[in-house]
Amino acid sequence: MKIEKIIFATGNEGKMREVRMILSDLGVEVLSLKEAGIEAHAEENGKTFEENAVIKASEIMRQCGEIVLADDSGLEVDALNKEPGIYSARYMGYDTSYHVKNQNLIDRLEGKKGSERSARFVCAIAAALPDGRIRTTRGTMEGEIGYEERGENGFGYDPIFYLPEYGCYSGELSLEVKNELSHRGKALRLMKEELRKLKEERQ
Ligand code: ITT
């Protein structure tokens, strides 16, 4: 099928920077909601990252009739019963600063050391096609919650996400390196393969 443009349904600029870089070699124009002039909001009332990504992508596809990709992602902290999970953006309220959210997670892990602080970022990506077909992919990045915020890069919970294998925080990674390692990078590369297959389909 012919794919000329894709709408990536996010209002999060941090996500959009990562997405643009990873999809840059697909040969398809990738537009944010803002760039596409779409003012849409989907109720994320699913129980899993996948459900929410499908809800977001499908709802916006119905509104604009284009191929729409959406990402639902978040941080799972094992010692906190996988909180904040699908509620990562809403944790302590949408308008609470990440400095406060991050410090709150550090405080809740007081007394825990090393692997007791294990956590992961999860990302599910859904593609909703105008013909009704849906594709989903998932990626994760394993790490630990650090003891303080570090790094100026990334967004959200990146400053407290420590990567033991690399000896640094996610907030200290360049965009290039984060995309190599991250949940979103992995899920997006899998989605890129799905999109390539769709592009090769005969009409
Ligand atoms: P959209 O729904 O508009 O895409 P959002 O920020 O509300 O934007 P989500 O509902 O998927 O997106 O929430 C994901 C939250 O999980 C995000 O706001 C961050 O708090 C956190 N998160 C996800 N990926 C992250 C990453 O790579 N680095 C840091 N925090 C991340």
Give the tens place of pLDDT for each residue, 28-68.
Answer: 999 999 999 998 778 889 999 999 999 999 999 999 999 99
Q: What is the CATH number of the domain that holds 75?
A: 3.90.950.10
What's the mean pLDDT when you consider all of the chain? 96
Q: Which of 71, 72, 78, 158 is catalytic?
A: 72
Question: Buried b / exposed e across 65-77, counting CB within 10 Å, b at 16+?
Answer: ebbbbbbbbbbbb
Dist. CA 175–CA 21, nearest whole Å: 9
Dist. CA 188–CA 23, nearest whole Å: 8
Give me 164's structure tokens.
């033991």
Report the pLDDT value the prediction gives residue 171, as an integer from 0 to 100: 98
Mean pLDDT by 10 residues, the chain (203 residues): 93 91 94 92 91 97 96 98 97 97 98 97 98 98 98 97 97 96 97 95 78
Report the pLDDT value the prediction gives residue 127, as an integer from 0 to 100: 98
Report the pLDDT value the prediction gives residue 169, as an integer from 0 to 100: 98
Close Cβ partners of 49 (under 8 Å, ≥ 6 residues apart): 72, 73, 74, 86, 122, 123, 124, 138
Q: Is 131 an active-site residue?
A: no
Q: Which of 8, 88, 136, 188 to mutate to test the pocket of ligand 1 (most atoms within 8 A of CB)?
A: 88
Q: Is 182 in the pocket of ligand 1 (CB under 6 A)?
A: yes
Domains contained in the chain, number: 1
What's the domain range around 186? 5-200
Q: Is 156 in the pocket of ligand 1 (CB under 6 A)?
A: yes
Please report which residue ranges of the chain form alpha helices under DSSP H.
13-22, 49-64, 98-108, 175-181, 183-200
Report the pLDDT value the prediction gives residue 121, as an integer from 0 to 100: 98
Report the pLDDT value the prediction gives residue 202, as an integer from 0 to 100: 79
Q: Is 10 in the pocket of ligand 1 (CB under 6 A)?
A: yes
Residue 103 one-letter amino acid = Q
Question: Buried b / exposed e across 153-172, counting CB within 10 Å, b at 16+?
Answer: bbebbbbbbbbeeeebbbbb
